Amino acid sequence: MKTIKKFLGSSYEVAASNGHVRDLPKSKMGIDIEHDYEPRYITIRGKGELLSGLRKLVKKADRIYLATDPDREGEAISWHLKAALKLDDIEDKQVSRITFNEITKKAVTESLKNARDIDMNLVDAQQTRRILDRMVGYEISPVLWEKVKRGLSAGRVQSVALRMIADREDEINSFIPQEYWSLDATFKVEGSTKPLTARYYGVAGKDGKPVRVDLDNEEQTMRIVKGLEGGAFSIREIRRSERTRKSPLPFTTSTLQQEASKVLNFSTQKTMRIAQQLYEGVEVKGQGTVALITYLRTDSVRVSDEAQASAVAFIGENYGQQYVMEQAREDKKNGKVQDAHEAIRPTDVYRLPAQIKDSLSREQFRLYQLIWKRFVASRMSAARYETTQVRIVGSPADTGSSAAADGERFPDQFFTVSASRLLFEGYQKVYIEDEEEKSPVLGKGLDESSTLTLQEFDPRQHFTQPAPHYTEASLVRALEEQGIGRPSTYAPTITTILARRYIVKEEKNLYLTELGDIVNGIMKEAFPSIVDPMFTANMEALLDGIADGQVRWKTVIENFYPDLHEAVLQAEKTLEKVHIADEETEEICENCGRHMVIKYGPHGKFLACPGFPECHNTKPYYEKIGVECPKCGKDIIVRMSKKGRRYYGCMGNPECDFMVWQKPSPEKCPRCGGLMLEKGNRLVCADSECGFVKNRGESEEEQR
């Protein structure tokens, strides 16, 4: 606000609404279902005095400009301000809407020259989003209160995000590792001190060319090792080529959140909070309050001509013309991009992070530096590499090798090694997006005539890994890819399901809690369309259609609400109550003799006396699963981590530290006698070296 005032001078007054001033009431849905779904807005509590002050300023003004954020929500706030201040009733004063993508003098003054009316299509798109979210929340949440416990909530986007996390958890828990092998061969190269290590590729086909072969087990791998014992190895082909690595695109909201998580270990909420500070302005020594970045809620990678020219000039002056990208990259539009704003970039590329470091907090500096580097790199030329692929053929020493099958000659086998060498660093002079895998170093003078001597084989067993748990960054990427939500919704969505304890975050990973599992189960059973990613993505497309003036906003609501209401009525009849609390047990309260009941707290179940408040007795609830601890023989029980994630641990904790994330089975491994874990419809030995797997209820003989 101070920054804008400084740009405009003393003839302008600048005042802030501090966000929304009107909203639907909290005490009820606030939508008149019987009268064309008309929303009933009220002044937000605590905003009365602020609005009163704004009205006094309006009376003094000759002209009023509404300059809220340049997105749909900002457009709606301007519309609400216009209504709350009764600006339509003022006949002698012009009211205009202005927007700017960055808080710079040029952008602000240009916006005044391009003042316009409020765009009601954008307002209606935001109204529709708000009404749909209110309908989902206020219709479904009472069902969760009745069937589970009070204080829970459902949401149009949050419920889909919860389902995605739950589905990933199911995928991980039911994943059965598959064995595979790798085979490396290390050679001594004549005339070189550096050994050469190549990986097994496959077998020679009838035409002598390599055919890819996957190594599935130890027997297959050792057959190749044995077949090549004492054999001859030679270089069949060396292929050299050049490849480029294009510079990254500038940041959008989603990619900024992802990269800040990966590089800076920031949560999505923290990233947006700090970015908001950089956008609104920071006190810079000798310059006053300065806005450092452009608008932070965007799905566009577009850059203004002025910013493009400034970046090109900066790169040429500081790094040389060879580092300037010949033509700026453009992102391929996928139909889900609104492209209403520019990418997130510094307002002035000549404002180097190091120059203003002393004026920023550590977190502000790190995020600004990330944004600055990414933008500069996005305007720089590609990095160039020379790649070399060496193909090595191994021939058996004896055509009658014992490794041959049915007297057939053991075929030649191929090994390959690839290496790359940086020729020109390009954008990596400024910004390294991620570390490339370490490339092997090939000795100088290596060619097809080089003599190879086998030093050793290195066969290794591996197991396939399940998809990783979602992190905040990968969940944002998945939401964006599926068209669920928009830049302004990613951080609030994740924050909400964390606050509701439907999920927990440990390290960077997101895990489903027992409560989240129950809520997701109810949503999938009773409201399948609400948690269907495709349905939610299609709804976002309809909102885009409203913003473009192609779809009537009330038509969307008219088509949505009746089905939702019918599903709620049906759920109230058919859904059984989840006994997550107040279930009576055989445990007797030592203080008053009542049967203790199961309660559900922030960290899971516990036992409490039903005589509260007269009796305050509580104790831990141990849910035994009928399996003994393989370390000490005590019972394994269901436990909850401090953040609410279910696991299975020894009742003798802390003396015994045994714990596993999958549920142990009473059935012992028939191969090694060890613990078996339940993974979907299969039982898997907890000892990965054993690797025994069977379907539930199936004997070892049947499995074979």
Do 644 and 602 contact (CB within 8 A), yes or no?
A: yes
Q: Residue 341: which residues within 8 A CB-CB, separation 6 or more?
A: 70, 71, 101, 294, 295, 297, 298, 300, 302
Do 637 and 663 contact (CB within 8 A), yes or no?
A: no
Alpha-carbon torsion 7, 10, 12, 18, what sign? positive
Read off the pLDDT of each residue in 373-379 and give the average, rounded to a whole number. 97
In terms of pLDDT, which residue wins out, 631 or 581?
A: 631
pLDDT recorded at residue 392: 96
400 band by pLDDT with thresholds 50, 70 and 90: very low
The region of weakest confidence among 220-234, 364-378, 681-695 is 681-695
pLDDT recorded at residue 683: 85
pLDDT recorded at residue 697: 54
The region of weakest confidence among 239-243, 541-545, 620-624, 700-704 is 700-704
Instruction: Write down the residue that tokens 């305050």 correspond to.
Output: 616
pLDDT recorded at residue 73: 93
What is the pTM for the complete model shown?
Answer: 0.81
Query: Which residue ranges form the domains of the chain, and what is each CATH number?
Result: 2-118 (3.40.50.140), 130-174+469-573 (1.10.460.10), 184-246+383-463 (2.70.20.10), 253-378 (1.10.290.10), 583-703 (no CATH)
Whether the per-residue pLDDT at 655 is higher than 60: the answer is yes
Other CB atoms within a 10 A radius of the CB of residue 5 amount to 14
Short-list 185, 161, 332, 186, CA closest to 249: 332
Read off the pLDDT of each residue in 147-167 and give the average, rounded to a whole number. 91
Rounded to whole angstroms, the Cα distance separating 505 from 267 reads 10
pLDDT recorded at residue 401: 46
Q: Which of 5-14, 77-86, 328-337, 477-486 has maximum average pLDDT? A: 77-86
Task: State the alpha helices, DSSP H only, in 9-104.
Answer: 48-60, 72-84
Task: State the alpha helices, DSSP H only, in 548-661.
Answer: 553-574
338 band by pLDDT with thresholds 50, 70 and 90: very low
Rounded to whole angstroms, the Cα distance separating 229 from 185 reads 12
Read off the pLDDT of each residue in 497-515 and give the average, rounded to a whole number. 88
Q: Residue 177: which residues within 8 A CB-CB, separation 6 or more?
A: 463, 464, 465, 684, 688, 691
How does the average pLDDT of the chain come out, rounded? 89
Task: State the alpha helices, DSSP H only, in 413-470.
Answer: none
Read off the pLDDT of each residue in 246-270 and give the average, rounded to a whole number. 95
3-state SS of 639-697 is EECCCCCEEEEECCCCCCCCEECCCEEEEECCCCCCEEEEECCEEEECCCCCCCEEECC
- DSSP 3-state assignment of 267? coil
Phi, psi (rounded to 5 degrees) for 355: -70, -25
The radius of gyration computed from the CA coordinates of the chain, to the nearest angstrom, equals 32
Task: State the alpha helices, DSSP H only, in 85-197.
Answer: 105-113, 120-147, 158-173
322 band by pLDDT with thresholds 50, 70 and 90: very high
Residues with a catalytic annotation lie at: 295
User: Percent of the chain scored above 90 by pLDDT?
Assistant: 66
Rounded to whole angstroms, the Cα distance separating 572 from 522 reads 11
Q: Residue 675: which residues within 8 A CB-CB, separation 6 or more?
A: 627, 630, 660, 664, 665, 668, 669, 685, 686, 687
